[in-house]
């Protein structure tokens, strides 16, 4: 007895895709979103009702690369796949509804008509944040009272103790160690203009963005007020600059909605490497702080790397 294959309707396919763990959405030939699955809702915070019919370039998704470049306007893999019919894979940072950036790996494939011509494109993506490591770290910090309650990051006490321990490891094993100090620009004006509740939301947004792009074996925490610190193990001066610049660019491309308006902030950063076996927490932080001051003095929203030579190197934003 022959068994006939079941007839699958479009609604059945949608129901199947809604059970997939990866985020999936489809663009038509006009770059409008025509499908948005349940996983996409969970990973972005945006529902299908909020996105269907919109274009990727609308003020909604705003995907950027690691330099902060807006991919929707320059180098969109979905548009390219629909033009040349070639699949693509890349890593971008999506814009969560809460305002922060989330690192994702995307896979794009063209959809073809009956003649084989690419007419639309489907994108699937997966969150590449090391969530298990983050959750384990948060639990450990809670257990030891090392958690900053507002941002969910490590607090100053834990940062100082970890920096002391890593300086010792760097001395014993010959590893390199870098520190990045970060400060939200004009944060007092945010509190004065929008209120302290909005200021708290800005702190949380910046914290989520920093945590999402920090390597699993590094540490980012709240130093105090609107200041944050990152500790980077086994890093070079070039890597330190590149990571600091990534922090800067992605915070600049994040936002929170306050009273119906999108509120964006920038950060200034100062970076320094541990120099020798006689380095201390106080000296290393002081050098990073000095570099942060140079970034502030030079116009804010930039990175300065401390150099033991008389001059300091800085990467300036456009």
Catalytic residues: 226
Residue pair 255/273 in contact (Cβ under 8 Å)? The answer is no
C-alpha pair distances (Å), 232 with each of 63, 143, 218: 26, 24, 5
First to last CA, the chain: 71
In the three-class reduction of DSSP (H, G, I as helix; E, B as strand; rest coil), residue 272 is classed as: strand
Measuring CA to CA, how many Å separate 199 from each of 48, 78, 106? Answer: 29, 36, 32
Which candidate, 190, 189, 172, 143, places its Cα nearest to that of 233? Answer: 172
In DSSP notation, 86-143 reads --EEEEEEEE-TTS-EEEEEEEEEEEE-TTS-EEEEEEEEEE-S-HHHHHHHHHHHHH
Q: Which of 155, 134, 156, 146 is nearest to 216 (CA)?
A: 134
């Amino acid at each position: 007895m022959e068994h006939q294959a079941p007839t699958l309707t479009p609604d059945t396919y949608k129901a199947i895709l809604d059970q997939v763990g990866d985020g999936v959405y489809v663009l038509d030939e006009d770059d409008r979103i025509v499908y948005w699955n349940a996983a996409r809702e969970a990973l972005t915070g945006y529902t299908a009702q909020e996105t269907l019919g919109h274009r990727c370039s609308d003020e909604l998704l705003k995907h950027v690369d690691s330099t902060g470049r807006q991919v929707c306007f320059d180098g969109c893999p979905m548009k390219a796949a629909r033009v040349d019919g070639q699949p693509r894979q890349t890593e971008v940072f999506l814009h969560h509804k809460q305002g922060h950036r989330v690192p994702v790996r995307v896979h794009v494939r063209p959809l073809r008509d009956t003649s084989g011509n690419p007419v639309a494109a489907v994108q699937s993506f997966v969150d590449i944040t090391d969530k298990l490591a983050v959750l384990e770290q948060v639990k450990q910090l809670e257990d030891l009272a090392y958690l900053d309650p507002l941002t969910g990051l490590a607090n100053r006490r834990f940062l100082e103790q970890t920096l002391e321990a890593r300086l010792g490891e760097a001395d014993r094993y010959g590893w390199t160690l870098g520190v990045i100090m970060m400060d939200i620009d004009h944060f007092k004006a945010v509190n004065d203009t929008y209120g302290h509740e909005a200021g708290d939301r800005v702190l949380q947004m910046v914290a989520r963005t920093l945590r999402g792009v920090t390597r699993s074996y590094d540490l980012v925490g709240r130093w105090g007020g609107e200041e944050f610190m990152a500790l980077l193990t086994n890093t070079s001066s070039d890597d330190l600059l590149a990571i600091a610049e990534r922090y800067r660019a992605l915070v600049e491309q994040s936002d929170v909605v306050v009273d119906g308006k999108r509120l964006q902030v920038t950060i200034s950063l100062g970076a320094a490497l541990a120099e020798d076996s006689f380095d201390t927490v106080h000296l290393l932080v002081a050098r990073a702080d000095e570099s942060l001051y140079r970034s502030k003095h030079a116009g804010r929203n930039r990175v300065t790397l401390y150099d033991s030579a008389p001059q300091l190197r800085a990467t300036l934003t456009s």
